[in-house]
Amino acid sequence: MASIIYFIMVEVKVFDSPTLIAKESAKLSLDILKSAIGQRGYAVWILAGGTTPLLAYKEISDKYIKDLDWRRVYFLIGDERSVAIDSPESNYRLINEALLSKVDLDRDKLILPRYSEDNISDADTYNLAVAKMFSNLGPEVDLLWLGMGEDGHTLSLFPGHQEINNQSRYVLPVNNAPKPPLERITLGLKALSEVKHCQVLASGSLKKDA
């Protein structure tokens, strides 16, 4: 049987402020997206909620808006809280205000969760949309942004919760999250099987142990 060897490079960079994290992340991300577009004509980027990514979205929209053909980028959202999309708690709302509403993008490449008060059906709908995209393009994700909570959760995958090990589908409903809102939907490991670049954007001393 042929064996496949993967090389994974992990680099931890420490900065004096969340603003400096955002600047570095924005610059690196633009390079990654540009290079993906150069190589295969499009890029796939999974976006994150949270305050540190928010600063990085703002940095991109302030500095780099003209530097990329945004119409070639597929955007997904890594996890969403079960709240209306205009709620202050919505990850989409935050990301839209800071970045998506400011770039000239191709709406067909926006792969977004919907909200219907039923996170199980919303997870099913989003799962289909993500499955369709991967079946058209293949499984590669060029860039994955992740936030991280003080308990070490990322996306809406919480330590000790069953969704962490679920590889049966791309999108999972989450109930009884330890952080409100209790109901969410999240990408699971199946969606992250071929991520080329992942940035974990985390700030705050309370996250040090995680």
Site of interaction with ligand 6PG (CB under 6 A): 48-52, 79, 81, 91, 147-149, 153, 156, 179
Residue with Cβ nearer ligand 6PG (52 or 127): 52
The answer to whether 146 touches 78, Cβ cutoff 8 Å, is yes
| SS3 readout for the chain | CCCCCCCCCCCCCCCCCHHHHHHHHHHHHHHHHHHHHHHHCCEEEEECCCHHHHHHHHHHHHHCCCCCCHHHEEEEECEEECCCCCCCCCHHHHHHHHCHHHCCCCHHHEECCCCCCCHHHHHHHHHHHHHHHHHHHCCEECEEEECCCCCCCECCECCCCHHHHCCCCCEEEECCCCCCCCCEEEECHHHHCEECCEEECCCCHHHCCC
The encoded tokens of residue 34 equal 């540009």
Q: How far is the CB of 24 from ligand 6PG (least distance, A)?
A: 15
Q: Which is nearer to ligand 6PG, 149 or 173 (CB)?
A: 149
Please state the closest distance from residue 69 (CB atom) to ligand 6PG, in A.
Answer: 28
CB of 48 to ligand 6PG, least distance (A): 6
Question: In the complex, what is the shortest distance from the CB of residue 165 to ligand 6PG, in angstroms, rounded to a whole number?
Answer: 18
Contact (Cβ atoms closer than 8 angstroms) between residue 173 and residue 73: no
Question: Cβ closer to ligand 6PG: 68 or 111?
Answer: 111
Residue 95 CB, shortest distance to ligand 6PG, in Å, is 10
**For ligand 6PG, which is the closer residue by CB, 38 or 88?**
88
Give the nearest residue (CB) to ligand 6PG.
147
Find the shortest distance in angstroms from Cβ 178 to ligand 6PG. 10
Q: Which is nearer to ligand 6PG, 105 or 201 (CB)?
A: 201
For residues 56 and 105, which CB has a smaller minimum distance to ligand 6PG in the complex? 56
